[in-house]
Amino acid sequence: MSTAVKKEHKSARPERGGQATLVEAIRQGIWEEMERDPDVFVIGEDVGAYGGAFKVTDGLIDEFGNERVVDTPISEGAIVGAACGAALMGMRPIAEFQFIDFISAGFDLLTNYAAKCRYRWGAGLPVVFRGPCGSGVRSGPFHSLNAESFFLNTAGLKIVEPSTAYDAKGLIKAAIRDPDPVLFFEHKKLYRLPRLREELPSDDYIVEIGKSRVARAGRDLSIITFGAMVLTALDAAEELEKEGLDVEVIDLRTLAPLDRPGILASVKKTSKAIVLHEASRTGGIGGEIAAILAEEAFEWLDAPVVRVASIDTPVPYSPPLEDYYLPQIKDVVDVARKLAAY
């Protein structure tokens, strides 16, 4: 006679609210939305039994089963296609890319199908395409991409990248509830950064897509940024405060649609602006923001708008080379000093 004892299922459900890192906040948000809406499901590579490459989906398959947590072959094109089809049938998929670099394998469906469904024949496509982006963690040229500029020129796609745990949870919940496709980029360097651990509310909340936030108020100069570069900007602002320069830091949070009123309000107050982003300089989002300021805030500018970004190369694997590639605190401080003296 077998003496085996069946183990009682123990839920890995995260607590609502409480202390959370950025990765834990995203996991909380997805879990809560799956509990709230039975049409929400997760699809991607290793999202089930393994719990995701960075453990964002850890425990979901035990709680919701393999019909709502779907492991796929290594085919990003198939993941995007399956998610789009499911959305057209009334579901709300959350499609994960193990690394955002490989979103390129689904580029055709994202830009020529998902982005255009609403415009072409009035069909909303409520899909979240999410995954880890960013460099600074020694992952080399194939696992460190910042892909926002690839999609900024495609009408119909919203793009979100949070820099705090509070925003990460509120924005993932807003993205899941959105009636149209949202690209949700998560900077992997921020996932478990102790500095970003914060107390989250226990009640249900969302952060509105399309709204920036003032991460630090100031009067002398604006730094407009997002993602991991928010921390670089804040650290630079602290250094500059010692020299008597009061810097405002704007965290965009949403990259498409850009919060034009928020950007303009800050620059009209300070009259000087740095646009800081991690992706390579040429063709980056900084050029678009600089153009907005030139067109709509020219009369308020007391100096040229300056972009600080990574150099135009693939992301190096070598730590010293990657540090050289990326904008550093010193780079921001040096540019701010020049603008202040302009």
pLDDT of residue 167: 98
Mean pLDDT of 308-320: 97
Kindly list the distances between the CA atom of residue 83 and the CA atoms of 93, 128, 266, 279, 302, in Å, as whole numbers in the listed order. Answer: 6, 9, 38, 27, 48
Q: Where are the domains of the chain?
A: 18-200, 213-340
pLDDT of residue 139: 95
Beta strands 182-187; 128-133: pairing state: parallel
pLDDT of residue 17: 87
Whether residue 141 has a cis bond before it, omega within 30° of 0: no
pLDDT of residue 262: 98
Token digits of residue 223: 């730094």
Would you call 293 helix, strand, or coil by DSSP?
helix
Q: For the chain, give the mean pLDDT.
A: 95
Helix or strand run (H / E) with residue 310 = strand 306-310
Backbone region of residue 134 per phi and psi (left: phi > 0; alpha: psi in -120 to 50; beta: other values): left
- State pLDDT tens for residues 87-141: 999 999 999 999 999 999 999 999 999 999 999 999 999 999 999 999 999 999 9
Would you call 205 helix, strand, or coil by DSSP?
coil
Query: Which amino acid is residue 205, in one-letter code?
Result: Y
Beta-bridge partners for 247: 221
Token digits of residue 134: 């960013």
pLDDT of residue 8: 44
- State pLDDT tens for residues 180-196: 999 999 999 999 999 99
Question: Would the pLDDT of 63 be above 70?
Answer: yes
Q: Give CA–CA dist 94/79, Å, rounded.
A: 10
DSSP H stretches of helix in the chain:
22-36, 60-64, 76-88, 107-112, 117-121, 148-151, 165-177, 229-241, 260-270, 285-296, 319-325, 329-340
pLDDT of residue 280: 97
- State pLDDT tens for residues 192-248: 999 999 999 999 999 999 999 999 999 999 999 999 999 999 999 999 999 999 999
Cβ atoms of 98 and 47 within 8 Å: the answer is no
Residue from 9, 143, 187, 277 carrying the catalytic annotation: 143
pLDDT of residue 11: 57
Beta-bridge partners for 273: 222
Residues in the chain: 342
Domains 18-200 and 213-340 in one fold = yes
Q: Specify the fold of 18-200.
A: Rossmann fold (3.40.50)
Backbone angles phi, psi at 198, to 5 degrees: -150, 165
pLDDT of residue 211: 98
Residue of 125, 186, 184, 133 lying closest to 156 (CA atoms): 125
pLDDT of residue 259: 98
Sign of the CA dihedral running 19, 167, 281, 109: positive
pLDDT of residue 14: 80
Helix or strand run (H / E) with residue 314 = none
Is 143 an active-site residue?
yes
Residue of 185, 184, 183, 192 lying closest to 165 (CA atoms): 192
Q: What class is the 213-340 domain?
A: alpha beta
Q: Which long-range contacts (CB under 8 A, 24 or more apart) does 282-285 make?
A: 282/312, 283/149, 284/149, 284/309, 285/148, 285/149, 285/152, 285/255
For residue 204, count other CB atoms closer than 10 A to its CB: 12
Cβ neighbours of residue 35 closer than 8 Å, sequence gap 6 or more = none
Mean pLDDT of 282-309: 98
Q: Give CA–CA dist 98/96, Å, rounded.
A: 6
